[in-house]
Amino acid sequence: MEAAIELDHLSKSYGRRRGLVDLSLQVRRGEVFGYLGPNGAGKSTTIRLLLDLIRPDGGRARVLGLDPRRDAVAVHRRVGYLAGDFVVDPRQCVDECLTFLANLRGGVPRDRISDLAEQLDLELPARIKTLSKGNRQKVGLVQAFMHRPELLILDEPTSGLDPLVQQTFLRLVTEARAAGQTVLMSSHVMSEVERVADRVGIIREGRLIALDTVAGLRDRAVRTMRITFAEPPPVDEFAGLPGVGDLRLDGAVLHCRVAGSPDALLKAVAQHTVIDLLSEEPDLEDLFLTFYEGRDRVAA
């Protein structure tokens, strides 16, 4: 089955500033793909190219097997899109706005709109100009999900949402995947993507620097270990082991950090009597920051 999204050496520049650099990527049908990076990394540029809102300088993109430029109407009909800067007519009430957008899509059952609004605690009679940023974001979420599109493209979808509504949003994403829909979800927050994504891509300065499953990224994350021995071991035995760093021996307690598999360290530790061993869960946020600080790089 063809991919939901295919990018082949896609490039885009804004004068001297590079938006995307030779980006190649596939998003599989039926998966939730987390697209991570801080503001300005190229996430929104990628999304706008997919929807033909801007044009690339080089390379090509395919969305649901279609050319975003030549087949723009067909693509937009099959996609639910939430822009990072979602804006609608502030003079409308929420119900009027969503009804108008539903009619543009050929009609959406009334109970579908009401159900999504209830789940997100969105007041349909409210005038849009009176809404907070979080409540305006809820309007954007409803219009993206309401017609059950084949592909959901969500740019920073939880911006402005309170923690309870964020949980509701993540549940909606999970339900969409269960229904066979594909979700591309851009964010700069690793933790929210970690909960629902099948795979994650990390972009830095317009380049894809990591592409893996969440489990795969976790395997590469750095864990902190504290090992208590019956007698102080020679610390030199552990220096130079693969992935082991920041070694410190405090009496009979060894402190260290391990990148990736701890197998080599555990085999060396097993040569001594161990009283206690503590391994802290790898922190994906730290891994995310590692890519951005230039201390590591994972080929896509």
Q: 172 or 189: which carries more pLDDT confidence? A: 172
Name residues whose C-beta falls within 8 Å of residue 5's C-beta, 6 or more positions apart in sequence.
25, 26, 27, 33, 50, 61, 62, 63, 151, 182, 184
Q: Is the pLDDT of residue 287 over 80?
A: no
Residue-wise pLDDT for 149-172, tens only, equals: 999 999 999 988 999 999 999 999
* Domain covering 222-281: architecture: 2-Layer Sandwich (3.30)
Selection from 241, 246, 200 nearest residue 219 by Cα: 200
For 191, phi then psi, to 5°, come to -65, -40
User: What's the gap between Cα 175 and its chain centre?
Assistant: 17
Using CA atoms, how far apart are residues 110 and 146, in angstroms rounded to an integer? Answer: 10
Residue-wise pLDDT for 229-285, tens only, equals: 999 999 999 998 998 999 999 999 999 999 878 899 999 999 999 999 999 876 666
pLDDT tier for residue 290 given thresholds of 50, 70 and 90: low
Task: Please report, for the chain, the start and end positions of each structural domain, with discontinuous segments joined by +.
Answer: 5-217, 222-281
Q: Is the pLDDT of residue 292 over 70?
A: no
Structure tokens belonging to residue 158: 């939880």
Average pLDDT on 79-99 reads 93
Q: 206 or 294: which carries more pLDDT confidence? A: 206
Q: Is the pLDDT of residue 299 over 50?
A: no
* Domain covering 5-217: architecture: 3-Layer(aba) Sandwich (3.40)
Using CA atoms, how far apart are residues 26 and 28, in angstroms rounded to an integer? Answer: 6
Is 256 buried (19+), middle (13-18) or exposed (0-12) by CB count in 10 A? buried
Name residues whose C-beta falls within 8 Å of residue 271's C-beta, 6 or more positions apart in sequence.
237
pTM of the shown model: 0.81
SS3 for 211? strand
Using CA atoms, how far apart are residues 31 and 180, in angstroms rounded to an integer? Answer: 8
Q: What is the pLDDT at residue 295?
A: 46
* DSSP 8-state code for residue 130: G
Residue-wise pLDDT for 119-137, tens only, equals: 999 999 999 999 999 999 9
Q: Which range (17-31, 268-282, 285-299) has the least confidence?
A: 285-299
Cβ neighbours around 56 below 10 Å, total: 23
Name residues whose C-beta falls within 8 Å of residue 195's C-beta, 6 or more positions apart in sequence.
170
pLDDT tier for residue 195 given thresholds of 50, 70 and 90: confident
pLDDT tier for residue 297 given thresholds of 50, 70 and 90: very low
Q: What is the pLDDT at residue 39?
A: 81
Q: What is the pLDDT at residue 300?
A: 37
For 34, phi then psi, to 5°, come to -90, 125
Q: What is the pLDDT at residue 40?
A: 84
C-alpha angle 90-93-97 in degrees, rounded to nearest 5: 80
Name residues whose C-beta falls within 8 Å of residue 66's C-beta, 6 or more positions apart in sequence.
74, 75
